Amino acid sequence: MAVKKFSDLNQKNLTSVKNISKDEEIQEISLRPSYFDDYVWQSSIKEKLKIFIEAAKQRWESLQHILFYWAPWLWKTSISNVIAKEMWSNIKIMSGPTITKAGDLAAILTSIKKWDILFIDEIHRMKTNIEEILYSAMEDFKIDIIMWKWPGARSMRLDVPKFTLIWATTKAWSLSAPLRDRFWIIEKLDFYTISEMKKIISRSAKILQLKIDDEALEDIALCSRFTPRIANRLLKSLRDFAQVQNENFLDIKTTISWLKSLWVDETWLDKNDEFFLRTILEKFDWWPVGLNTLAIAMNEDKETIEDIHEPFLIQKWYIKRTQKGRILTQKSLDFLKNKKINEDNRKIF
Protein backbone atom coordinates (compact mmCIF):
# COMPACT_ATOMS: atom_id res chain seq x y z
CA MET A 1 0.00 0.00 0.00
CA ALA A 2 2.83 2.34 0.89
CA VAL A 3 4.50 1.58 -2.43
CA LYS A 4 1.33 2.54 -4.28
CA LYS A 5 1.09 5.87 -2.47
CA PHE A 6 4.76 6.57 -3.21
CA SER A 7 4.15 5.74 -6.87
CA ASP A 8 1.15 8.07 -6.96
CA LEU A 9 3.24 10.82 -5.40
CA ASN A 10 5.99 10.30 -7.98
CA GLN A 11 3.43 10.44 -10.77
CA LYS A 12 2.08 13.74 -9.42
CA ASN A 13 5.60 15.19 -9.16
CA LEU A 14 6.41 14.02 -12.70
CA THR A 15 3.22 15.62 -14.01
CA SER A 16 4.12 18.83 -12.19
CA VAL A 17 7.61 18.85 -13.69
CA LYS A 18 6.16 18.26 -17.17
CA ASN A 19 3.74 21.16 -16.69
CA ILE A 20 6.59 23.43 -15.55
CA SER A 21 8.68 22.38 -18.57
CA LYS A 22 5.71 23.08 -20.86
CA ASP A 23 5.24 26.52 -19.30
CA GLU A 24 8.95 27.28 -19.72
CA GLU A 25 8.80 26.21 -23.38
CA ILE A 26 5.80 28.46 -24.04
CA GLN A 27 7.53 31.32 -22.22
CA GLU A 28 10.72 30.84 -24.26
CA ILE A 29 8.77 31.02 -27.52
CA SER A 30 6.80 34.07 -26.41
CA LEU A 31 9.98 36.11 -25.90
CA ARG A 32 10.34 36.09 -29.67
CA PRO A 33 7.93 38.48 -31.42
CA SER A 34 5.32 36.97 -33.72
CA TYR A 35 4.20 40.02 -35.72
CA PHE A 36 5.66 43.36 -36.80
CA ASP A 37 3.67 45.19 -34.11
CA ASP A 38 5.67 43.32 -31.44
CA TYR A 39 8.96 43.54 -33.28
CA VAL A 40 11.25 46.37 -32.14
CA TRP A 41 13.51 46.84 -35.11
CA GLN A 42 15.04 49.35 -37.50
CA SER A 43 11.91 51.13 -38.58
CA SER A 44 13.01 51.91 -42.15
CA ILE A 45 13.63 48.24 -43.01
CA LYS A 46 10.47 47.12 -41.22
CA GLU A 47 8.31 49.61 -43.10
CA LYS A 48 9.73 48.49 -46.45
CA LEU A 49 9.08 44.85 -45.62
CA LYS A 50 5.49 45.67 -44.62
CA ILE A 51 4.90 47.25 -48.04
CA PHE A 52 6.48 44.33 -49.94
CA ILE A 53 4.43 41.80 -47.93
CA GLU A 54 1.15 43.68 -48.38
CA ALA A 55 1.77 44.06 -52.14
CA ALA A 56 2.50 40.34 -52.50
CA LYS A 57 -0.65 39.42 -50.59
CA GLN A 58 -2.80 41.76 -52.71
CA ARG A 59 -1.42 40.23 -55.93
CA TRP A 60 -1.82 36.76 -54.44
CA GLU A 61 1.87 36.01 -55.09
CA SER A 62 4.82 34.71 -53.12
CA LEU A 63 7.12 37.30 -51.55
CA GLN A 64 10.34 38.10 -53.38
CA HIS A 65 13.56 36.46 -52.15
CA ILE A 66 15.34 38.26 -49.28
CA LEU A 67 19.00 38.45 -48.23
CA PHE A 68 19.89 39.66 -44.73
CA TYR A 69 23.53 40.31 -43.85
CA TRP A 70 25.84 41.82 -41.25
CA ALA A 71 26.54 40.79 -37.64
CA PRO A 72 25.45 37.54 -35.99
CA TRP A 73 22.96 37.42 -33.05
CA LEU A 74 20.63 40.00 -34.60
CA TRP A 75 17.45 37.91 -34.57
CA LYS A 76 17.52 37.12 -38.30
CA THR A 77 15.62 33.91 -37.51
CA SER A 78 13.03 35.90 -35.58
CA ILE A 79 12.40 38.37 -38.39
CA SER A 80 12.04 35.43 -40.80
CA ASN A 81 9.38 33.92 -38.54
CA VAL A 82 7.62 37.29 -38.38
CA ILE A 83 7.64 37.55 -42.18
CA ALA A 84 6.14 34.05 -42.42
CA LYS A 85 3.37 34.99 -39.95
CA GLU A 86 2.59 38.20 -41.82
CA MET A 87 2.47 36.28 -45.11
CA TRP A 88 0.18 33.58 -43.58
CA SER A 89 2.85 31.06 -44.64
CA ASN A 90 4.75 28.14 -43.14
CA ILE A 91 8.51 28.41 -42.63
CA LYS A 92 11.25 25.80 -42.88
CA ILE A 93 14.52 26.71 -41.14
CA MET A 94 17.83 25.26 -42.31
CA SER A 95 21.54 25.87 -41.79
CA GLY A 96 23.81 26.17 -44.83
CA PRO A 97 26.54 23.75 -43.63
CA THR A 98 23.98 20.96 -43.01
CA ILE A 99 23.02 20.87 -46.70
CA THR A 100 25.90 18.81 -48.08
CA LYS A 101 24.36 17.09 -51.11
CA ALA A 102 22.35 18.27 -54.10
CA GLY A 103 19.76 15.62 -53.31
CA ASP A 104 19.24 17.09 -49.83
CA LEU A 105 18.40 20.49 -51.27
CA ALA A 106 16.18 18.95 -53.95
CA ALA A 107 14.24 17.05 -51.28
CA ILE A 108 13.75 20.25 -49.26
CA LEU A 109 12.61 22.32 -52.25
CA THR A 110 10.16 19.73 -53.54
CA SER A 111 8.64 19.16 -50.08
CA ILE A 112 7.68 22.77 -49.38
CA LYS A 113 4.27 24.12 -50.34
CA LYS A 114 3.21 27.14 -52.36
CA TRP A 115 4.03 30.47 -50.64
CA ASP A 116 6.14 28.73 -48.00
CA ILE A 117 9.28 30.43 -46.74
CA LEU A 118 12.64 28.66 -46.68
CA PHE A 119 15.11 30.30 -44.29
CA ILE A 120 18.77 29.27 -44.65
CA ASP A 121 21.33 30.63 -42.20
CA GLU A 122 25.11 30.81 -42.75
CA ILE A 123 24.81 30.63 -46.52
CA HIS A 124 28.46 31.61 -46.97
CA ARG A 125 29.36 28.13 -45.73
CA MET A 126 27.27 26.35 -48.38
CA LYS A 127 29.09 24.51 -51.16
CA THR A 128 29.22 26.16 -54.60
CA ASN A 129 27.72 23.19 -56.46
CA ILE A 130 24.68 23.32 -54.17
CA GLU A 131 24.34 27.09 -54.64
CA GLU A 132 24.07 26.55 -58.39
CA ILE A 133 20.94 24.43 -57.99
CA LEU A 134 19.20 27.45 -56.51
CA TYR A 135 19.67 29.61 -59.63
CA SER A 136 16.75 28.08 -61.56
CA ALA A 137 14.78 27.38 -58.37
CA MET A 138 14.75 31.07 -57.45
CA GLU A 139 14.00 32.39 -60.96
CA ASP A 140 11.97 29.71 -62.75
CA PHE A 141 10.87 27.59 -59.77
CA LYS A 142 12.45 24.53 -61.35
CA ILE A 143 15.52 22.46 -60.48
CA ASP A 144 17.71 20.22 -62.60
CA ILE A 145 18.93 17.02 -60.99
CA ILE A 146 21.62 14.77 -62.47
CA MET A 147 20.53 11.14 -62.31
CA TRP A 148 23.25 8.49 -61.86
CA LYS A 149 26.91 8.95 -62.62
CA TRP A 150 28.80 8.72 -65.86
CA PRO A 151 28.43 6.85 -68.13
CA GLY A 152 24.73 7.03 -68.86
CA ALA A 153 24.10 10.18 -66.81
CA ARG A 154 20.89 12.07 -67.50
CA SER A 155 19.23 15.13 -66.02
CA MET A 156 15.72 15.49 -64.70
CA ARG A 157 13.84 18.80 -64.34
CA LEU A 158 11.52 19.06 -61.35
CA ASP A 159 8.93 21.72 -60.62
CA VAL A 160 9.25 23.64 -57.35
CA PRO A 161 6.32 25.42 -55.66
CA LYS A 162 6.52 29.22 -55.75
CA PHE A 163 8.33 29.94 -52.50
CA THR A 164 10.31 32.69 -50.79
CA LEU A 165 13.95 32.15 -49.95
CA ILE A 166 15.35 34.14 -47.01
CA TRP A 167 19.09 33.83 -46.58
CA ALA A 168 21.21 35.21 -43.77
CA THR A 169 24.96 35.63 -43.72
CA THR A 170 27.72 37.54 -41.98
CA LYS A 171 29.73 37.57 -45.23
CA ALA A 172 27.58 38.85 -48.07
CA TRP A 173 30.68 39.58 -50.17
CA SER A 174 31.58 35.87 -50.17
CA LEU A 175 28.45 34.96 -52.17
CA SER A 176 28.83 34.45 -55.89
CA ALA A 177 27.50 37.35 -57.98
CA PRO A 178 24.95 35.22 -59.90
CA LEU A 179 23.40 34.08 -56.63
CA ARG A 180 23.46 37.50 -54.96
CA ASP A 181 21.80 39.10 -58.00
CA ARG A 182 18.80 36.79 -57.69
CA PHE A 183 17.75 38.40 -54.41
CA TRP A 184 15.31 41.24 -54.90
CA ILE A 185 15.39 42.48 -51.31
CA ILE A 186 18.88 42.91 -49.81
CA GLU A 187 19.07 44.49 -46.36
CA LYS A 188 22.00 45.15 -44.04
CA LEU A 189 21.07 44.65 -40.39
CA ASP A 190 22.73 46.89 -37.84
CA PHE A 191 23.00 46.76 -34.07
CA TYR A 192 19.98 47.98 -32.14
CA THR A 193 19.89 51.35 -30.40
CA ILE A 194 19.66 51.81 -26.63
CA SER A 195 16.00 52.91 -26.85
CA GLU A 196 15.14 49.84 -28.96
CA MET A 197 16.93 47.56 -26.51
CA LYS A 198 15.04 49.07 -23.58
CA LYS A 199 11.72 48.37 -25.31
CA ILE A 200 12.75 44.77 -25.98
CA ILE A 201 13.89 44.20 -22.39
CA SER A 202 10.76 45.83 -20.99
CA ARG A 203 8.56 43.55 -23.11
CA SER A 204 10.53 40.46 -22.07
CA ALA A 205 10.40 41.44 -18.38
CA LYS A 206 6.58 41.63 -18.57
CA ILE A 207 6.42 38.18 -20.15
CA LEU A 208 8.75 36.82 -17.43
CA GLN A 209 6.60 38.59 -14.80
CA LEU A 210 9.63 40.47 -13.49
CA LYS A 211 9.39 44.06 -12.32
CA ILE A 212 12.30 46.32 -13.24
CA ASP A 213 12.99 50.02 -12.74
CA ASP A 214 14.19 52.41 -15.47
CA GLU A 215 17.81 52.58 -14.28
CA ALA A 216 18.15 48.80 -14.17
CA LEU A 217 16.50 48.61 -17.59
CA GLU A 218 19.07 50.95 -19.09
CA ASP A 219 21.96 49.16 -17.39
CA ILE A 220 20.92 45.80 -18.88
CA ALA A 221 20.53 47.50 -22.28
CA LEU A 222 24.07 48.88 -22.00
CA CYS A 223 25.45 45.45 -21.12
CA SER A 224 23.63 43.61 -23.89
CA ARG A 225 25.89 44.56 -26.82
CA PHE A 226 22.77 45.99 -28.47
CA THR A 227 21.66 42.43 -29.24
CA PRO A 228 18.20 41.09 -28.22
CA ARG A 229 19.37 37.52 -27.68
CA ILE A 230 22.06 38.61 -25.23
CA ALA A 231 19.65 40.99 -23.48
CA ASN A 232 17.10 38.21 -22.97
CA ARG A 233 19.80 35.85 -21.77
CA LEU A 234 20.97 38.39 -19.18
CA LEU A 235 17.40 39.13 -18.12
CA LYS A 236 16.61 35.45 -17.57
CA SER A 237 19.82 35.03 -15.55
CA LEU A 238 18.86 38.02 -13.40
CA ARG A 239 15.41 36.51 -12.94
CA ASP A 240 17.07 33.37 -11.56
CA PHE A 241 19.08 35.45 -9.08
CA ALA A 242 15.93 37.29 -8.01
CA GLN A 243 13.97 34.05 -7.65
CA VAL A 244 16.61 32.47 -5.37
CA GLN A 245 16.60 35.64 -3.25
CA ASN A 246 12.78 35.55 -3.08
CA GLU A 247 12.54 38.82 -4.94
CA ASN A 248 10.47 39.86 -7.94
CA PHE A 249 11.94 43.32 -8.54
CA LEU A 250 15.19 44.51 -10.07
CA ASP A 251 16.63 47.85 -9.06
CA ILE A 252 19.91 49.35 -10.24
CA LYS A 253 21.91 48.27 -7.17
CA THR A 254 20.99 44.57 -7.34
CA THR A 255 21.26 44.56 -11.14
CA ILE A 256 24.83 45.88 -11.12
CA SER A 257 25.81 43.45 -8.37
CA TRP A 258 24.37 40.40 -10.12
CA LEU A 259 25.69 41.43 -13.54
CA LYS A 260 29.20 41.59 -12.08
CA SER A 261 28.81 38.03 -10.85
CA LEU A 262 28.05 37.15 -14.50
CA TRP A 263 31.27 38.91 -15.55
CA VAL A 264 29.31 41.59 -17.38
CA ASP A 265 29.53 45.36 -17.06
CA GLU A 266 28.78 48.53 -19.00
CA THR A 267 31.96 48.18 -21.09
CA TRP A 268 29.97 45.49 -22.99
CA LEU A 269 32.91 43.09 -22.86
CA ASP A 270 32.80 39.63 -21.28
CA LYS A 271 35.56 37.25 -20.20
CA ASN A 272 35.92 35.85 -23.74
CA ASP A 273 36.54 39.34 -25.11
CA GLU A 274 39.05 40.02 -22.34
CA PHE A 275 40.86 36.77 -23.18
CA PHE A 276 40.95 37.83 -26.85
CA LEU A 277 42.52 41.20 -25.98
CA ARG A 278 44.91 39.80 -23.38
CA THR A 279 46.16 37.21 -25.86
CA ILE A 280 47.25 39.92 -28.30
CA LEU A 281 48.76 42.05 -25.52
CA GLU A 282 50.58 39.41 -23.49
CA LYS A 283 51.57 36.83 -26.11
CA PHE A 284 52.40 39.20 -28.96
CA ASP A 285 53.41 42.36 -27.06
CA TRP A 286 50.78 44.46 -28.83
CA TRP A 287 52.36 43.70 -32.25
CA PRO A 288 50.04 42.99 -35.21
CA VAL A 289 49.01 39.34 -35.28
CA GLY A 290 47.54 37.37 -38.19
CA LEU A 291 44.27 35.47 -38.01
CA ASN A 292 45.83 31.99 -38.24
CA THR A 293 48.37 32.72 -35.51
CA LEU A 294 45.71 34.27 -33.27
CA ALA A 295 43.42 31.26 -33.76
CA ILE A 296 46.22 28.89 -32.66
CA ALA A 297 47.11 31.07 -29.65
CA MET A 298 43.46 31.20 -28.51
CA ASN A 299 42.76 27.53 -29.37
CA GLU A 300 39.81 28.68 -31.49
CA ASP A 301 38.92 28.19 -35.15
CA LYS A 302 39.18 31.12 -37.55
CA GLU A 303 35.42 31.27 -38.24
CA THR A 304 34.64 31.68 -34.53
CA ILE A 305 37.08 34.57 -34.25
CA GLU A 306 35.77 36.29 -37.39
CA ASP A 307 32.05 35.73 -36.72
CA ILE A 308 31.80 35.82 -32.91
CA HIS A 309 34.67 37.77 -31.36
CA GLU A 310 35.73 40.37 -33.88
CA PRO A 311 32.56 42.10 -35.19
CA PHE A 312 31.67 43.76 -31.89
CA LEU A 313 35.28 44.51 -30.89
CA ILE A 314 35.91 46.21 -34.24
CA GLN A 315 32.61 48.07 -34.19
CA LYS A 316 33.38 49.46 -30.71
CA TRP A 317 36.97 50.28 -31.69
CA TYR A 318 38.74 47.85 -29.35
CA ILE A 319 40.78 46.30 -32.19
CA LYS A 320 41.78 47.26 -35.72
CA ARG A 321 42.40 45.11 -38.78
CA THR A 322 45.48 46.08 -40.74
CA GLN A 323 47.43 44.53 -43.62
CA LYS A 324 49.89 43.11 -41.09
CA GLY A 325 47.21 41.71 -38.77
CA ARG A 326 45.00 42.55 -35.78
CA ILE A 327 46.22 45.23 -33.37
CA LEU A 328 44.84 46.67 -30.14
CA THR A 329 43.67 50.28 -29.84
CA GLN A 330 44.32 52.63 -26.95
CA LYS A 331 40.78 51.92 -25.78
CA SER A 332 41.71 48.24 -25.31
CA LEU A 333 44.82 49.12 -23.34
CA ASP A 334 42.81 51.41 -21.05
CA PHE A 335 40.25 48.65 -20.52
CA LEU A 336 42.88 46.03 -19.61
CA LYS A 337 44.70 48.49 -17.35
CA ASN A 338 41.52 49.35 -15.42
CA LYS A 339 40.69 45.66 -15.10
CA LYS A 340 44.10 44.95 -13.57
CA ILE A 341 43.77 47.88 -11.14
CA ASN A 342 40.36 46.63 -10.00
CA GLU A 343 41.67 43.07 -9.58
CA ASP A 344 44.66 44.32 -7.52
CA ASN A 345 42.33 46.37 -5.32
CA ARG A 346 40.17 43.31 -4.67
CA LYS A 347 43.26 41.34 -3.63
CA ILE A 348 44.21 44.06 -1.13
CA PHE A 349 40.81 44.03 0.53
- Which residues have CB under 8 Å from 171's CB, separation 6+? 69, 124
* Same domain (yes/no): 217, 310: no
* Same domain (yes/no): 203, 238: yes
Let me know if 170 is a catalytic residue: yes
Active-site residue identified among 57, 77, 265, 293: 77
* Same domain (yes/no): 109, 250: no
* Same domain (yes/no): 166, 98: yes
Instruction: Among 241, 261, 281, identify where a domain stops.
Output: 261
Instruction: Among 150, 173, 189, identify where a domain stops.
Output: 189
Inside any domain, residue 123? yes
| Residue 83: predicted pLDDT | 92
Let me know if 77 is a catalytic residue: yes
Active-site residue identified among 46, 85, 182, 229: 229
Inside any domain, residue 151? yes
* Same domain (yes/no): 289, 166: no
Active-site residue identified among 32, 116, 121, 326: 121
* Same domain (yes/no): 50, 175: yes
CATH number at residue 161: 3.40.50.300
* Same domain (yes/no): 55, 115: yes
Decide: pTM greater than 0.85: no
| Residue 265: predicted pLDDT | 65
* Same domain (yes/no): 54, 106: yes
* Rg of the chain over all Cα atoms, to the nearest angstrom: 25
Task: Count CB atoms within 10 A of the CB of residue 20.
Answer: 10
CATH number at residue 227: 1.10.8.60
Inside any domain, residue 297? yes
| Residue 14: predicted pLDDT | 35
Q: In terms of residue numbers, what domain contains 300?
A: 271-332
Inside any domain, residue 232? yes
* Same domain (yes/no): 184, 43: yes
- Which residues have CB under 8 Å from 142's CB, separation 6+? 136, 157, 158, 159, 160
| Burial class of residue 101 in the structure, from the number of CB atoms within 10 Å of its CB (0-12 exposed, 13-18 middle, 19+ buried) | exposed
| Residue 90: predicted pLDDT | 92
The number of distinct structural domains making up the chain is: 3
* Same domain (yes/no): 63, 133: yes
| Residue 121: predicted pLDDT | 80
Let me know if 265 is a catalytic residue: no
* Same domain (yes/no): 83, 129: yes
Let me know if 59 is a catalytic residue: no
Task: Count CB atoms within 10 A of the CB of residue 295.
Answer: 17
Active-site residue identified among 32, 116, 164, 170: 170
Dihedrals phi, psi of 185, to nearest 5 degrees: -110, 115
Let me know if 339 is a catalytic residue: no
* Same domain (yes/no): 299, 256: no
Residue by residue, pLDDT tens for the chain (349 residues) are: 343 433 343 444 334 333 434 444 444 556 788 888 878 777 788 889 999 999 999 999 999 999 888 766 666 788 888 999 999 999 998 888 788 887 788 888 888 888 899 998 877 677 777 778 888 888 889 887 776 666 666 777 888 899 999 988 877 677 778 888 888 888 887 778 888 889 999 999 989 888 888 998 988 988 887 788 888 989 999 988 888 887 788 888 888 888 877 777 667 777 788 889 999 998 888 788 998 899 999 988 887 888 778 878 887 889 998 888 999 999 888 888 877 655 544 443 3
Q: Which of 138-147's residues contact partners 24+ apart within 8 Å by CB, and which partners? A: 138/65, 138/165, 138/182, 139/182, 143/105, 143/106, 143/109, 143/110, 145/102, 145/103, 145/106, 146/102
